[in-house]
Amino acid sequence: MASVRSGTRREDHKAFWAFSLPAFILYLFVFGFPIVLSAVISLSNYKGGQMFGGEPWAITGFKQYGLLFSDPAFWLALKNNIYIVLISVFGQLPLGFVFAYLIYRKVVKFGEFWQGILYVPAIISVIVLGIMWKFIFASNGLLADLFNYGNTSKLVAALNLALNSGTTLNDEGIRHILKAMDPNVVGLLGSDPVAGFKEQLLPGGSLAIGDPAAFVNAMKNYAPKWTPEFMTKQDTAMIPIMFVTLWCWTGMYVILFNANMQKIDSEVIEAARIDGATEMQTARHIVLPALSGILINAAILCIAGSMNQFALIWAMTEGGPMNVTEVLSIYMYRTATIGQNYPLSNAIAMVIIVISFLLIGLTKLAQKRLGGQE
Amino acid sequence: MKKLIIATLMVAVVALGAMAQKTTLNFFYYIDATQAGYAEDQAMWQKFKDANPDIDLQMEMLFSQAYHEKLSSYIAAGQLPDVIYMWPGARDSSKLLHDNKLMYDLSKVLDKDLLSKFTVAALNPKAQASNQLSELPQAYTYCGVAYVNRKLLADNGIAMPKTYADLKAMVLKLRAKNVQTVALPDGDSWPAQSCLMSTMVGRYLGDAWVDNVKAGKVKFTDKDFVNVLTQYKKLYDDGIINVTNVQMGYGEGPALFASGKAAIIIDGDWRVGAYLTDKTTGKALIDPKNQDDYELVNLPAFPGEKFPGTAAATAGCGLGITKTLTGAKLEAAKKLLAYYYGKDFQTMKWETGAFVPTRTDLTTDKLEPLGVKLPKFYAANSKTTYVLDSVLDPSVFNVLNAGLQSIPLGGDTPAGVAAKMQAAQDKLLKK
Amino acid sequence: MSNTAIDKERSFGTSLVGKIAAIVGKIVAYAVMGAFAFMAVFPILWLIMNSFKSNQDYQLDKIGWPKEWFPINYAGAWQIGDFGILLPNSVFYTVVGTAGVVLISTLAGFAFAKLKSRASVPMYGSFVIGVMLSLSSLMIPLFLQLSQLDLLLGNLWTSMGLMTDPRAFHLFYNTRFGVILVYIGSGLPLAIYMITEYIRGIPTSLVEAARIDGASYWKIFARIILPMCMPIITTVAIITLPGIWNEFALINIIVGKLDLQSLPLGILRFSGSRSADYGKQFAALVIGLAPMLIFYIAFQKQITKGVSGGAVKG
């Protein structure tokens, strides 16, 4: 990086400062000072209200960090963040690479079209994604409709099977039907479900069914109603979110990787192909190493983005239900606005920053190690 | 030269930041753009602005969680709005306003003539956490109302349910038609506590018991309270309330009920507005000519209840004035409140189904049938009992909210939830 | 990799099994990409379709084609959402914000890439670090900083007798100025990183020649650097623009007054848990989505090139 030689030293310096100062001052104002403020508050007992001239507050030490590390909500949020990091680094990047490679090598046609379409999620406001998400995963949403339809079909099949041997039911048939019914409903039939079934659900208490079609129709709604219970439990609740995260950002990496692939000398590829290398080999031994630098950079951006992920998850679940999908940034937001605990909230902010750097440092370390192998 | 530049800069900065000649009034308001009556509400405020050119009314309108978070931020930043729509109890953000007595006592600030037009219950300072009239309750809100689809029941040969047993008997028949017996969308975690649990606690234990638990004389872990939670669980075990409700968003309720997918829905009296005609599209979730097919009744009798017929109700929300206001700003705020609590505004709120006002001298003939049912409901159910999130501390009722979600899902037991609640209450008692 | 291994793979590649595998692979590839693409486009189409249903029609039938059409949803949404105020605000924030990022980061990029100073390396390094940060984690301290600063200055002016109510002073919090500062600041790290790398690629000899001719740095910047940077500037603009347009978390915490709110905040108001009017809600969302879609379709080529332009150095 050569800089200009001529001109007086003083003029050079003045110019440097003149050009860089606006950016630097703004940067300090928007990033620098808040970070320092965050560190200070995290070590204090500030309670909100006026900072200077209001109620006195003081530095009290690392108490908040101690509280933080003993709070299970913190570890849950951290775990959720790790999930996002994993799906990003090991999902978006490989998938992005594969798609980019396929487009680059023209294994699929209309490359520009695919690139364009795959990038669309990145420009849609997350609020729209949140609404769609709720629509699909809600208790009475699309997914529920699908599962319920499946359950109903199973029950109808069991009913038809039981009526197969004529229109008279027997105990065994009833048992099969009960198995396909909603356990809640079965519970209402009393301690002996078969007897209860005969008593309460058979028209006139008779085992002979006059109108099988009507009977099936009357019974089919006793099928189990699916609830998205997996969304109220830790870990499983993160699955839909991870899926959406994967879908959302992969497109950007497709474009990024594809562009870098274009820079590879096509003669090298041709030579390999002539030598009889398969696509997989070409990808593994030529393209992948050529992109290693970009991959590391992308991984770093990925990690940074994942650790700071807020808007998308907030729009989908607000960290719920019951905080199971909370990530660190939402946890931080919650302790500040609802919990009104500013020192704790800022401690979390500090932790997010430190962890980001740790992960990125690890990545750089990995780069050095892997780079050595070449 | 430098000094001159600095001085000019300072003046410019001051000019940039300082306010204009008008009296600025920061009004923190609670309303949702999709609510019934939103357009009318906004039109009324526009009238106020037009009639008061010397007041620069800055309205910030938020709803639900966003509202509470923003207000908490304001309190933290020491930047309280001037007029605040708030709750009478220690609900979320209003807690700080009450605990730190940040609002004026309206009984001393508002015009006596205006105050005389409101019900005695509304003016009761004891109904508010700060033991003073920090806000003027615009309504007395009944939180536990059962909306019943009378026609649906009649079509299926079912009579109006009066007891728990009646409800249980309906389940199988209704389920065959894919109709839920009782709906209670609890995805937002507060409805089960506000609209159902509060009445249940009132029926089984009574207000005195709640006062005692706050004073530490009885505990949530006592079998009396655990029994109420167990009874709550039974509602789900017996199939009366379907487990799918636990994760259903609160906004899904009206559609569910109006489309006949649930025979009964438990909700608050404010929900009537959701079923009325939308002025812009002319559509209503329940067409006015069908509204008499529905009924508003008290929750049925529970087995073993000690205080039959009570319903959970609380003083409603209202506007309050921040205590730091003086001079022109205070006068402007008083004008705003007088306008809001005036005949026109309150009548509009009544007519759009927002609430039934506590102002006693209003009349209207514009109500749709469902709206007319409300005052009748109030008159028929005058025995009220506490709404839990008005009287308990947030650290306690938040645990209850979460517990009422996890019990039906099998994530926790009645005893477990009671223990957590008592732990939170103990922390408060220690202070 | 040993020769025998390559030979083995090669023979696999040209055998019949290999060919079938290749075809199956292609089908899978198309299928997966098609699925992704479908999931990208479907929500938008579904949204647009439902925005024409009335609230009741939607709730009875969430997936089907509208039976009656209610374009009035759009008028209603526009009015209720006060989009007449919010849309110009969004345009203002996005345009000024993006322009600000571009201008300030190009200036800085020039300094870091071509002007000598001992402070250059650490300063530039701090920006590179900033790329890994996000203002999401700094929301709370930022909010405190802005509001407390206003309070501080307000108290200062009041004590000097220039104002009566210290809490009436607003320069940073709840002001357009504050929002712009934050938006520009948030875009700086990435922009400076990309632009600096790019300018480093410009031959220094050009600059030196101009200096020898006696041109000032300003002239050099305006006449030489800036024109040559148009590609990377386009890139930066294209990345920054949708980011600011769709942003809601930061502005939500910095701004309260309706007059200052942006489009996403207006849309957020429709997403209340008590939504009773889906028709208008969807119309509001389409109104919010439309500008971005138009922008995207119009600049699709540049965008594709743009994101890849960030891959200057490996």
- Highest mean pLDDT among A115-129, B94-108, C258-272 belongs to B94-108
Q: Are residues A278 and A334 in the same domain?
A: yes
Residues in chain B: 431
| Helical (H) or strand (E) element with C123 | helix C120-131
Nearest residue of C to residue A285 by CA position? Answer: C1
Q: Are residues A131 and A259 in the same domain?
A: yes
- The minimal CB distance from A114 to the residues C37, C144, C310 is found for C37
Q: Are residues B108 and B199 in the same domain?
A: no
Q: Are residues B175 and B278 in the same domain?
A: yes
Output the pLDDT for position B5: 66
Which domain does B402 fall in, by range? 142-313+385-430
Q: Are residues A323 and A363 in the same domain?
A: yes
Q: Is residue C22 assigned to a domain?
A: no
Burial class from Cβ neighbours inside 10 Å (0-12, 13-18, 19+) for residue C22 reads middle
Per-residue pLDDT of chain B (431 residues; tens, 9 = 90+): 666 666 666 666 655 544 445 788 999 999 877 777 888 899 999 999 999 999 989 898 888 777 887 888 788 777 889 999 998 877 667 888 888 888 999 999 898 888 888 887 788 787 788 888 899 999 888 899 999 999 999 999 999 999 999 999 999 889 888 899 999 999 888 899 999 999 999 999 998 999 899 999 999 999 999 999 999 999 999 989 998 898 888 878 888 898 899 999 999 988 887 888 877 677 788 888 999 999 999 999 999 999 998 999 888 889 999 998 988 899 999 999 999 999 999 999 888 877 888 888 887 888 888 888 887 888 788 788 888 988 888 788 888 998 999 899 888 899 999 999 999 899 888 86
- The minimal CB distance from A140 to the residues B68, B248, B411 is found for B248
Nearest residue of A to residue C248 by CA position? Answer: A311
Q: Is residue A205 assigned to a domain?
A: yes
Q: Are residues B264 and B325 in the same domain?
A: no
Residue B21 contacts C where some CB pair is shorter than 8 Å: no
What CATH number does the domain containing B231 carry? 3.40.190.10
Q: Are residues A215 and A266 in the same domain?
A: no
From chain B, pick out residues whose CB is under 8 angstroms from the CB of C258.
58-61
- Give me the amino acid identity at A46: Y
Q: Are residues A334 and A246 in the same domain?
A: yes
Q: Are residues A252 and A110 in the same domain?
A: yes
Does residue C314 carry a pLDDT above 50? no
- The minimal CB distance from C29 to the residues A22, A108, A352 is found for A108
Which domain does A113 fall in, by range? 63-138+230-373
Which domain does C113 fall in, by range? 81-309
Residue A240 contacts B where some CB pair is shorter than 8 Å: no
Q: Are residues B390 and B259 in the same domain?
A: yes
From chain A, pick out residues whose CB is under 8 angstroms from the CB of B65.
318
The helix-helix angle for C278-298 and C300-309 (nearest 10°) equals: 70
Output the pLDDT for position B346: 92
Cα(A214)–Cα(B95) distance, integer angstroms: 57
Q: Are residues A128 and A170 in the same domain?
A: no
Q: Are residues B277 and B186 in the same domain?
A: yes
Cα(A174)–Cα(A207) distance, integer angstroms: 10
Q: Are residues B212 and B266 in the same domain?
A: yes
Task: Tell if the CB–CB gap between B175 and A48 is shorter than 8 Å.
Answer: no
Cα(B49)–Cα(B367) distance, integer angstroms: 27
Query: Sign (positive/negative) of CA torsion C227, C231, C233, C238?
Result: positive
Q: Are residues B65 and B116 in the same domain?
A: yes
Output the pLDDT for position A251: 83
Q: How far is B415 from chain C (nearest CA, A)?
A: 30
Nearest residue of C to residue A3 by CA position? Answer: C114
How far apart, in Å, are the Cα atoms of A63 and each of A45, A220, B430? Answer: 9, 59, 21
- Highest mean pLDDT among A134-143, A202-211, A258-267, B194-203 belongs to B194-203
Report pLDDT digits (tens) over A341-361.
788 888 888 898 888 888 878
From chain A, pick out residues whose CB is under 8 angstroms from the CB of C36.
117-118, 247, 250-251
**Are C276 and B35 a contacting pair, CB within 8 Å?**
yes
Average pLDDT over residues A82-90: 91
Average pLDDT over residues C230-259: 84
Residues in chain C: 314
Q: Are residues A241 and A349 in the same domain?
A: yes
What CATH number does the domain containing C94 carry? 1.10.3720.10
| Helical (H) or strand (E) element with B84 | strand B83-86
Residue B188 contacts C where some CB pair is shorter than 8 Å: yes
Nearest residue of C to residue B20 by CA position? Answer: C168
The helix-helix angle for B327-340 and B343-351 (nearest 10°) equals: 40
What CATH number does the domain containing A300 carry? 1.10.3720.10
**Are A239 and A252 a contacting pair, CB within 8 Å?**
no
Ramachandran class of A202: left when φ > 0, alpha when ψ lies in -120 to 50, beta otherwise:
beta
User: pLDDT category, A374, cuts 50, 70, 90?
Assistant: very low
Output the pLDDT for position A1: 43
Considering only CA atoms, which of A343, A309, B73 is closest in space to residue C253? Answer: B73
Q: Are residues B128 and B148 in the same domain?
A: no
Output the pLDDT for position A5: 52
Q: In sequence order, what E strands does B195-245 have? A: none
Q: Are residues B398 and B269 in the same domain?
A: yes
Cα(B429)–Cα(B203) distance, integer angstroms: 26
Cα(B46)–Cα(A236) distance, integer angstroms: 49
User: pLDDT category, C1, cuts 50, 70, 90?
Assistant: very low
Please tell me whether the overall predicted TM-score, pTM, comes out greater than 0.90 for this model: no
Pick from A222, A245, A273: which residue ends a domain?
Answer: A222
Cα(B144)–Cα(A137) distance, integer angstroms: 29
C308 vs A304: which has the higher pLDDT? A304
Task: Tell if the CB–CB gap between B239 and A201 is shorter than 8 Å.
Answer: no
Cα(B84)–Cα(B61) distance, integer angstroms: 11
- The minimal CB distance from A23 to the residues C104, C142, C267 is found for C104
In DSSP terms, B362 is beta-bridged to none
Q: Is residue A251 assigned to a domain?
A: yes
Q: Is residue A5 assigned to a domain?
A: no
Q: Are residues B173 and B283 in the same domain?
A: yes
- The minimal CB distance from A304 to the residues C40, C134, C304 is found for C134
Burial class from Cβ neighbours inside 10 Å (0-12, 13-18, 19+) for residue A192 reads exposed
Average pLDDT over residues A239-261: 84
- Give me the amino acid identity at B144: G
Q: How far is B32 from chain C (nearest CA, A)?
A: 7
Pick from A177, A205, A222: which residue ends a domain?
Answer: A222
Residue C144 contacts B where some CB pair is shorter than 8 Å: yes
The residues near C136 (Cβ < 8 Å, ≥ 6 apart) are A308, A309, A310, A311, A329, C249, C250
Nearest residue of A to residue C123 by CA position? Answer: A24
Share of chain C above pLDDT 70, in %: 87
Q: Are residues A74 and A184 in the same domain?
A: no
Q: Is residue B378 assigned to a domain?
A: no
How far apart, in Å, are the Cα atoms of B125 and each of A6, A60, B118, B383, B390? Answer: 80, 40, 13, 19, 14
Considering only CA atoms, which of A342, A324, A323, A322 is closest in space to residue A332? Answer: A342
Output the pLDDT for position B276: 81
Q: Are residues A72 and A180 in the same domain?
A: no
In DSSP terms, B297 is beta-bridged to B146
Q: Are residues A156 and A283 in the same domain?
A: no
Query: For chain C, what is the domain count?
Result: 1
Q: Are residues B243 and B390 in the same domain?
A: yes
Average pLDDT over residues A220-244: 85
Q: Is residue A49 assigned to a domain?
A: no
Residue A342 contacts B where some CB pair is shorter than 8 Å: yes
Residues in chain A: 374
Cα(B171)–Cα(A221) distance, integer angstroms: 12
Q: Is residue C223 assigned to a domain?
A: yes
**Are B389 and B188 a contacting pair, CB within 8 Å?**
no
**Are A151 and A188 a contacting pair, CB within 8 Å?**
no
The C-alpha torsion from B102 through B106 and B107 to B112, rounded to 10°, is 160
Query: For chain A, what is the domain count?
Result: 2
Report pLDDT digits (tens) over A180-194.
888 888 888 888 888
Q: How far is B78 from chain C (nearest CA, A)?
A: 8
From chain C, pick out residues whose CB is under 8 angstroms from the CB of A119.
303-304, 307
- Highest mean pLDDT among A21-35, A295-309, C273-287 belongs to A21-35
ipTM above 0.85, yes or no: no
Q: Is residue A35 assigned to a domain?
A: no
The residues near A208 (Cβ < 8 Å, ≥ 6 apart) are A167, A168
Output the pLDDT for position B191: 93
Q: Testing the interface with C: which of A278, A282, A285 to mutate, by most C Cβ within 10 A?
A: A278
- The minimal CB distance from A227 to the residues B73, B244, B256 is found for B244
Report pLDDT digits (tens) over C195-221.
888 888 888 888 888 888 888 888 888
Q: Is residue A163 assigned to a domain?
A: yes
Q: Is residue B415 assigned to a domain?
A: yes
Report pLDDT digits (tens) over C282-304.
888 888 888 888 888 887 776 66
Residue A127 contacts B where some CB pair is shorter than 8 Å: no
Nearest residue of C to residue A121 by CA position? Answer: C40
In DSSP terms, B60 is beta-bridged to B28
Nearest residue of A to residue C1 by CA position? Answer: A285
Query: For chain B, what is the domain count?
Result: 2
User: pLDDT category, C310, cuts 50, 70, 90?
Assistant: very low
The residues near A369 (Cβ < 8 Å, ≥ 6 apart) are none
Task: Tell if the CB–CB gap between A185 and B249 is shorter than 8 Å.
Answer: no
Q: Is residue B248 assigned to a domain?
A: yes
Task: Tell if the CB–CB gap between B283 and C275 is shorter than 8 Å.
Answer: no
Pick from A190, A222, A254: which residue ends a domain?
Answer: A222
Among B residues 253-282, those touching chain C with beta carbons less than 8 Å apart: 254-255, 258-259, 274, 278, 280-281
Does residue C305 carry a pLDDT above 70? no
Q: Are residues A269 and A350 in the same domain?
A: yes
Q: Is residue B7 assigned to a domain?
A: no
Task: Tell if the CB–CB gap between B409 and A200 is shorter than 8 Å.
Answer: no
Average pLDDT over residues A23-51: 84
Q: How far is A343 from chain B (nearest CA, A)?
A: 12
Task: Tell if the CB–CB gap between C144 and A310 is shorter than 8 Å.
Answer: no
**Are A336 and A342 a contacting pair, CB within 8 Å?**
yes
Lookup: tokens for B291: 């509204």
In DSSP terms, B267 is beta-bridged to B145
**Are B243 and A227 a contacting pair, CB within 8 Å?**
yes
Sheet strand arrangement including B140-142 = B140-142, B311-315, B384-385
Does residue C4 carry a pLDDT above 60? no
**Are A52 and C148 a contacting pair, CB within 8 Å?**
yes
Report pLDDT digits (tens) over C19-47.
787 788 788 888 888 888 888 788 888 88
Q: Backbone phi, then psi, for B34, in 5-degree steps?
A: -95, 5
Q: Is residue A182 assigned to a domain?
A: yes
Q: Testing the interface with A: which of B241, B244, B406 to mutate, by most A Cβ within 10 A?
A: B244
Task: Tell if the CB–CB gap between A259 and C123 is shorter than 8 Å.
Answer: no
From chain B, pick out residues whose CB is under 8 angstroms from the CB of C279.
281
Q: Is residue A32 assigned to a domain?
A: no
Q: Are residues B47 and B105 in the same domain?
A: yes
The residues near A52 (Cβ < 8 Å, ≥ 6 apart) are C148, C151, C152, C155
Average pLDDT over residues A293-311: 83
Q: Is residue C272 assigned to a domain?
A: yes
Does residue C311 carry a pLDDT above 50? no
Lookup: tokens for B160: 């109006």
